[in-house]
Each structure stands twice: as structure tokens, then as C-alpha cells.
Chain A
Amino acid sequence: MSDPKVVDVPVETKEAVAPDVPVLEVRDLTIRYGDKPAIRNVSLVIPERKITAIIGPSGCGKSTLLRQLNRMNDFIPDCNMDGQILYRGIDLYDPEVDPVEVRRRIGMVFQKPNPFPKTIYRNISWGPVINGFKGDLNALVESSLQRAALWEEVKDRLTESALSLSGGQQQRLCIARALALQPEVILMDEPASALDPVSTSRIEDLCFELKERYTIVIVTHNMQQAARISDFTAFLDTGKLVEFGETDQVFTRPREKRTEDYVSGRFG
């Protein structure tokens, strides 16, 4: 692999390098599975250090769009795209960009908590270690767990299996695991849909705290959740971006009839 372009922009200096360039920009994106389009001509700019929610009825392509943002769709055979996704002005699908590096910088939390069947400590430390982290690993593990609001619950059991944690704790562990790589963007694919209401509200609180440092894109089928936590909302329907704007506006004064029908619960 020749020098991937993304390497040249260390996270720490990002603002100095590109103060005006949006962190993520989707330009005229079409995604197809085979010939079947799942996302059609979507364009949007993800605002920095804000929570952007992607909502829409089942099968509208929310998750597809999200996974395209860190090249997780590379693993789906027949999945292809047109258009561009720019990360700090760099085309993520440029042949010179290494998808492995993309995923390190744009982290992801999945719908079902998927901790590794290893210790809590190893779950956090593995990502940094394989990416050549050369600092104080213990401190990194602690700070990641603290940022994910999990430290107090697990600090005495770091060598226990991550599978001994409850579902909500496992999901926060997965968030901590993503944070340990010091990403700039975190993508969340319905991170609370498999959790009980208490765990869900903890995840939501956590998102709120995390947006001070990270740009968060969250897919949710729960409109209340989107309304509660997000700053911006994108409403997708059958692969098209119907409306994108500040969450307040989308939920209270939608410009499109279709959006109004959806957020008021008339379909979906």
C-alpha cells in the first residue's frame, strides 16, 4: 500500500490544517446493492462537534449511508457507489486512501453490542496496540473508559471477560473501545435499540457529553431519541434525503409534507 493520503493529517493538528473544511461532506451519493439503489443522490454536510441524527422508516437506507461513511460497506459484495464522501476535504474513496486508516479515524458503534470475547482491558487496548500506539496504555484505557462513563463500574474488574458485563455496559465498552483510537468522528448505528430504557438514557447522556470532543452521526429509528439528543437531523425515505436541517426545525416546522407525516407518526 503506497502512502495513504489520510496519514498526512494527524488528528491533533486538524484544525490548524483545515479550519474551514467540513469534517464530513457527502456529495451526490448513490449507493447500490448490485443494480438496486439503496441511497439516491444524497448530499449533506455533517457539522463538526454536533450530533447528527439520521432517521427514516425501516429499509430507507439509513444504515447503508452510515456504513458508507467509514467504508464498512467495502465488506458487502456487490455494494457500489457514485458520488463522493469527503473527510476534511479528502475523498474517502480515492484509490490512494487506505480504508484501514479511514476506519481508525472514523469510529463505529454497532446496533448490537459486540465486545470481543476477551478481557475488558484487552477490548479497549487492542485497537490502539494494533495501530502502533506507543504511549501509556493503562492511562489510555482508563481515560477511554472514563469518557464512556464506564470506568467506575469496571475499574476493579478490568481482567474479567467483557461478556460478563450487562448489555448496556457492553455497549458503553464498545463506545470506549472506539474512543481509545482517538477518532474524530463516531458513527453509531442504532446504538440503543437492543437496550433497556435505563441503559438507553445512559447512552444518550453519553452522546451528549461526547459531542464536546467528537462529531457524532447516529442512526436511529426512534424519533424521540433523535429529537432529544441530536442537533441536526436528516430524514431519509426510500433512499432519498427528504429533509436535512436543525433538529428543532425538522421536528417542529418541517419544510416537507413527507417529513411532517413521518415525525408526527403518520407512517413508518
Chain B
Amino acid sequence: MSRLLAAPANLRRRHRAARAFRAICTVLTWFCLVLLAVLLVHATREGLPWLDLQFLSEFPSRFPERAGIKSALYGTLWLIGFTALFSIPIGVSAAIYLEEYAGRSRINTAIEVSIANLAGVPSIVYGILGLAVFVRWMALGRSVLAGAMTMSLLILPVIIIASREALRAVPNSIRYAAYALGATKWQTVRHHVLPSALSGILTGTILALSRAIGETAPLIMIGALTYVAFVPSGPMDQFTALPIQIFNWVSRPQQDFHELAAAGIVVLLVVLLLMNAVAVFIRHRSQRYRL
């Protein structure tokens, strides 16, 4: 072979390096996937016997066979609903402003750096902030509203950063095409930039909301309850949430409660999957609508 094409001396070594890199990446990917699968199988196997309609429709109880997650499930839905209501409009608007309107002033640079930093602040810190500002100072109490506002603060930086990335990925040629047709900035953004960025914005938003669903620390901080025998009927009601209920069950000594926790985890995962499915659906529809 070497007679056909004189290969440089190091070619064999380069090929070996390429193969080695590929092998390492493959192994690491499978390692993560297998780990995840093991966790899922484990949780499902433990929780499956407990997963029935009664589990979804009963309130927590100190008797495992009568315990359910109705209040936690409803609490989580209320919480995420309001969190989405607050964080999506504010986050997306902020991203549009920063990406499309704001110039390169010092204040804007400061804002950008702050947002990046805020995304890395531990969630417990947002919990403390929520406790001080929403629960105490605004006197919202340990309500769904206070929880949702705290969660919104927590995920706003993530939504803003993801939305900005999506907006930045829209090629400038589209903007110029619109401007050259006598479009105003808002018409350009509304009709071309936003639709093109929508799927990226949605993906980022859903990821952020998924994070909010799993967060426990800030909710404990602002005083979400661990035992709730009612479903919130409004934004000012007290509430609990799935991760708190799971945490509560895990910390009990009885094996039955541990299995209940596993069942709770499965429900939490199903809620997450449903949210992702909704995102995929909206993305698909928006792409068709764009035509």
C-alpha cells in the first residue's frame, strides 16, 4: 500500500489518535446513557407497584397504602404554570431587547455579565431572596405566587441566555431582507426573527422550566409545606410540590415510603416528558405555520 501512495511518516499515528478519540467519546456517551437507564429502571421497578389512580388521587398519609401525591402534583402544576406565566414573557422580552435593540453601552455589558453570573447562583440563594422579598416584604406568605416568583427569578437568566442564543442564530441576511423592503424593526422582529428563533427559544424555555420542576431547595426555603392535605385553589394558597413530597418520603425510615418516593419520581419524570412533548409539538406546528 505504501508503494501506491507514499504516506507521511506520522499518518498511522494520526489515524490511531482519531480512532482513540472516537472510542473515548463513544464509551463516555454510553456510560451516561446506561447510568440513566439504570436509574430509570430502578425507580420504575420500585415504584411501579404503587403507581395507580389512587396514588394520583389521594393526599399524603402516614399509612403508605393510603398515601398519594395529589396535592404535590397539583402544587407542581400550579407552580410551573405561574412560573411560566412570569418568566417566559419577561425572559423572552429581555432577550429580544438585549439582542435586537440594545446597543453596545457599558450598562448593557454590565447587564449581560450580571445575567451570566446570575445563571450560576445556587438556587438556595434565590430561596433566601424569595423569602425576604416575596414572602415577608410583599407579604405574599408561603403561597403559590411567592413560590412561582422565586422560581421565575431562578430560571430567568437561563431563559434569557437561551433565547439570546436562538435570536443570534438567525442570520442577519433575513433581517436585512426585511429592512430592505421597508419594514420597521418591530415588523422585522415580529414576522421573521422571532419565528426563526422560536424553536430555539422554546427548547431553552422548556429546559429552564424542567429545572424549576425539579428544584427543592428554594421551595423549602420559602416555606412550601411538606404535608398538605388540600389542593391549592388559587395563587395565594399554600402548596407543596413533587420534589418536596419525594424528599419527605425518602427521609422516612419505612421501606414502603421509599417505594412511594420512587413512584413519585416516575410521576415527576412523566410530567417532564409531557412538557418536552408539548415543546416538540409546538415547534413542529410553528414550522408548518411559518410557511
Residues of B within 8 A of A110 (CB): 173, 176-177, 180
Bitwise interface map of B from 102 to 125 toward A, beta carbon under 8 Å scored 1, else 0 = 011000000000000000000000
Q: Separation in Å of the A106 CB from the closest CB of chain B?
A: 9
The secondary structure that dominates the A interface is mixed
The verdict on A77 contacting B181 (CB below 8 Å), with A114-B176, A130-B191, A159-B291 known, is no
The verdict on A104 contacting B179 (CB below 8 Å), with A114-B174, A118-B291, A161-B291 known, is no
Residues of A within 8 A of B103 (CB): 77
The verdict on A70 contacting B291 (CB below 8 Å), with A110-B173, A114-B173 known, is no
Extra inter-chain contacts (6) besides given A130-B183, A177-B181, A181-B181, CB under 8 Å: A75-B176, A103-B179, A103-B181, A114-B176, A114-B177, A127-B182
Interface residues of B in 167-202 (CB under 8 A from A): 171, 173-184, 187, 191-192, 196
- Bound-state CA distance A238–B171 (Å) is 29
Closest chain A residue to B191, Cβ basis: A126
Q: Is there a chain A Cβ closer than 8 Å to B62's Cβ?
A: no
Q: Is the CB of A100 within 8 A of B184?
A: yes
Q: Is the CB of A103 within 8 A of B192?
A: no
Q: Is the CB of B179 within 8 A of A75?
A: yes
Q: A-B pairs with CB below 8 Å: how many?
A: 67
The verdict on A108 contacting B291 (CB below 8 Å), with A77-B103, A114-B174 known, is no
Q: Separation in Å of the B11 CB from the closest CB of chain A?
A: 36
Contact size class for A? 20 to 34
- Contact among A122, A160, A161, A178 with B181 in the assembled complex (CB-CB below 8 Å): A178
Q: Separation in Å of the B75 CB from the closest CB of chain A?
A: 41
Residues of A within 8 A of B191 (CB): 126, 130
Q: Is there a chain A Cβ closer than 8 Å to B13's Cβ?
A: no
A residues neighboring B (CB under 8 Å): 70, 72, 75, 77, 100-101, 103-105, 107-108, 110, 112, 114-119, 122, 126-127, 130-131, 159-161, 174, 177-178, 181
Interface residues of B in 270-291 (CB under 8 A from A): 290-291
The verdict on A104 contacting B291 (CB below 8 Å), with A77-B104, A114-B176 known, is no
Residues of A within 8 A of B192 (CB): 116
Q: Which 3 pairs of residues, A with B, have the shortest CB-CB distance?
A: A104-B182, A127-B181, A114-B173
Show 7 A/B contacts (Cβ-Cβ < 8 Å), sorted by A.
A103-B182, A107-B180, A107-B181, A115-B177, A122-B291, A178-B180, A178-B181
Q: Is the CB of A126 within 8 A of B181?
A: yes
